[in-house]
Amino acid sequence: MVESIIQNLINALQWGSFYALIALGYTMVYGVLTLINFAHGDVFMVGAYIAFFVATMLLTSLGLPGWVALALTIPLTMILTSMVGVSLERVAYRPLRRKGAHRLYVVITALMCGLILEHANLAVLGASRKAFPSLITEHVYTIGGVTFTNLKIAVIITAILSFFILQWIVSRTKVGMAMRAISYDKFAVPLMGIPIDSIIVITFILGSGFAGLAGVLFAMSYPILEPYMGALIGWKAFIAAVVGGIGDIRGAFLGGFLLGAVEILVVAVFPSTYRDLIAFTVLLVILSFKPTGLFGVAKTTKI
């Protein structure tokens, strides 16, 4: 019984790590721009494909060892994926923001950007799935009846370290202070000499970079890639961010792990077909009692 609980806990931590890393991007963009970037799940998908091509090039063309290829694949993927996120901001979101477009049009534009990424992938690369190359040797360990792999532990540790790094950036650096200032009052910030566009670009770099990191880890854990892989996991990560309290980094991170835990526990007890039904029902109940999310705070408007 205890072994089963620990096993499910480890599985939940790994699955929740993917949600948490993607949810961090959602909550950062929303915290600064009050924008729900619905294309973020597809940015995660693009990150997984970028990792595939980078890793394949490093392994086959350059003949590098797997661990060296992995050490280069992670930063290169994060950089290239962040460029995709910045491109979306410059091409799609910034013109609308400068024209003072209603938030609804920005949300529709975000949905459109996600569809463009999906169908561009489908048109260019085709519908056939890609098999992600093996970069490291996966070792299986069994301790007291609990089985886990080095890759699973690495995914969990990487997600936790990413959270602390992002938390430090937001709370301890001048860039993070500017982000928090914009989220508090975006109209007064320009009067203080803070370049809003530059801070927004940095926000997209960080959020998309973590989505790229999630794409690498996901592709290594489940090495089958397809153009629509980011749609459902992106929506789930968004829901996790909302349940945790969108706009709050701690809430988004813990919300991802909460959703992962609920899904794994549902599969452990019920048939897998009940996973999404029960998981979303539990999250709906949480929101009915705490509409702002676990760590969210209701905003007040001063008159």
Q: What is the chain's alpha carbon radius of gyration, rounded to the nearest angstrom?
A: 19
In a 3-state reduction of DSSP, which class is residue 31?
A: helix
CB neighbour burial string for 192-230, b if at least 16 within 10 angstroms, e if fewer = eebebeebbbbbbbbbbbbbbbbbbbbbbbebebbbebb
* pLDDT tens-digit series, residues 26-55: 998 888 888 888 899 999 999 999 999 999
Q: Where are the beta strands (DSSP E) in the chain?
A: 130-131, 140-143, 146-149, 224-225
12: CATH: 1.10.3470
191 in any annotated domain = yes
Residue 295 has pLDDT above 90, yes or no: no
In a 3-state reduction of DSSP, which class is residue 139?
A: coil
* pLDDT tens-digit series, residues 1-28: 788 888 888 989 999 999 999 999 899 8
Sign of CA dihedral 148, 151, 154, 156: negative
Split at pLDDT 50, 70, 90, the class of 186 is confident
71 in any annotated domain = yes
* pLDDT tens-digit series, residues 233-288: 998 999 889 888 888 888 889 999 999 998 888 888 888 888 888 888 888 888 88
Least confident range of 33-47, 67-81, 103-117, 285-299: 285-299
243 in any annotated domain = yes
Give the tokens for residue 1.
């019984």
Number of domains in the chain: 1
Across the chain, what does the average pLDDT equal?
88
193 in any annotated domain = yes
Over residues 117-138, the mean pLDDT reads 90
Residues 284, 237: Cα–Cα separation, whole Å: 14
Residues 120, 152: Cα–Cα separation, whole Å: 31
Least confident range of 126-130, 156-160, 195-199, 243-247: 243-247
What confidence score (pLDDT) does residue 301 get? Answer: 53
26 in any annotated domain = yes
Residues 260, 280: Cα–Cα separation, whole Å: 11
Structural domain boundaries, residue 37: 2-289
What confidence score (pLDDT) does residue 109 get? Answer: 93
126 in any annotated domain = yes
28 in any annotated domain = yes
Split at pLDDT 50, 70, 90, the class of 127 is confident
Reading phi first (left if > 0) and then psi (alpha if -120 to 50, else beta), residue 239 is in alpha
What confidence score (pLDDT) does residue 122 get? Answer: 92
What confidence score (pLDDT) does residue 62 get? Answer: 83
